[in-house]
Each structure stands twice: as structure tokens, then as C-alpha cells.
Amino acid sequence: MAAQRDDTKYTLGSVLNHVLLHQTLIGQEALLQMEMAGDDPDVLVGCTGGGSNFAGIVFPLLGQQLRGGKKRRIVAVEPAACPSLTRGQYAYDFGDTAHLTPLTKMHTLGSTFTPPGFHAGGLRYHEMAPMVSHIKELGLIEAKAYPQLACFEAGIQFAKAEGDFAGAGGEPCGARSD
């Protein structure tokens, strides 16, 4: 749509390397918080659409691992309706459907791929960020694709098992009557 307007410009976001690196502030903060809690994860699981949120939490911990630190299992989870890491080709492709961006090597379903509609709108991108694609190719992460309804069901199961939506007196989680 932006390409059709003279007063509007289009730019990619979450798949660009500088955006991924900016997001690593999240992972660096998580490292500090885990250190304060005296904990260190064995497994990291993160959703992937374009890759920025996943890279944000994973890259600092992966950096520790690559510098000789603890080895972790890292799993990138993507929607089965748009499975760029699990079913896409690692190749040069355009980052946009209008073919205005430079060619970049990433996992791609093809720049003309249009995924079906599903709830996770931000996860509907046809490619994966170059750096996330590269660490997948190096075997540093795993990738899994799941259908959205299975994810919703798992979320409800987790909430029922781990969450307390109402205390004994019916108050919201965390509220106390005493």
C-alpha cells in the first residue's frame, strides 16, 4: 500500500539486522534478572515472525554460549501457516512483495507468498531475519512450526495448571483479602 502513495515510504522492520541487535537489550536485561534470581535457563523457546523478538531474548544467551558458556537448547517456534524456518528455502529473496528491497539471504517462502489469515498478524511474514536464518543454518537453534489452535489450547492448559485466576475468596490473581 505504501508503494502506491507519493507521500508514504516503506521500510522493513523486524527482519533487519540493526533491529535485531537493538532488541538484544531485552536479552541483556533478562540475563541480569536471571543472575539476580540465581537462575540460568537450559532451554529457550521463542516465537518467530520476522525474528526481532526472538533474537532479542536469544542472542545475548547464545553469545554467552559461543564464548564458552553454558550450552542451551534454543527453539524458534513459528506458525504452521507461515513456516519460513521449517519449510522455507535458504536463499536470496526480496523482503517485500513489491520487490523494492535489496535481495537478502534468508529462509523464505517466496516474496509472493501470501499466508492464510490467522490471529498472530505479526507472525505472517514470508521470510526470517538473515541472522536468525544463519544461526539456524549453523545448527545453533532448532525450529518448530505449530498450528494456532494447538498453541491456544496449550496456553489454556498452561494457565489452568500454573495460573490462579481467582483466589479462595474470588479475588483476581495476586489480590489478597487479608
Q: CA-to-CA distance for 107 and 163, rounded, in angstroms?
A: 36
Q: Decide if pLDDT at 82 tops 90.
A: no
What angle is formed at CA 44 by the lines to CA 85 and CA 60, rounded to 5 degrees? 90
Per-residue pLDDT tens over the stretch 27-41: 999 999 999 999 999
Q: Which residue has the higher pLDDT, 115 or 130?
A: 130
Write the pLDDT tens digit of every residue in 157-177. 988 898 765 554 445 444 444
3-state secondary structure of 145: strand
pLDDT confidence of residue 178: 45
Element (DSSP H or E) covering residue 28: helix 17-37
Q: Where is pLDDT greater, at 95 or 118?
A: 95
Q: Is CATH 3.40.50.2300 the classification given to domain 12-148?
A: no
Answer yes or no: are the C-beta atoms of 128 and 49 closer than 8 Å: no
Distance CA 116, CA 137 (A): 27
> What is the chain's length?
178
Cβ contacts of residue 53 below 8 Å, gap of 6+?
Answer: 14, 23, 26, 46, 47
Give, as one character, the DSSP assignment of residue 98.
T
Block residue for cell numbers 515472525: 49
The residue with greater pLDDT, 126 or 61, is: 61
For the chain, what are the domain ranges?
Answer: 12-148
Residue range 115-121: mean pLDDT, rounded = 67
pLDDT at 95: 83
The residue with greater pLDDT, 55 or 14, is: 55
Please say whether the beta carbons of 117 and 125 come within 8 A. Answer: no
Q: What mean pLDDT is reported for the chain?
A: 85
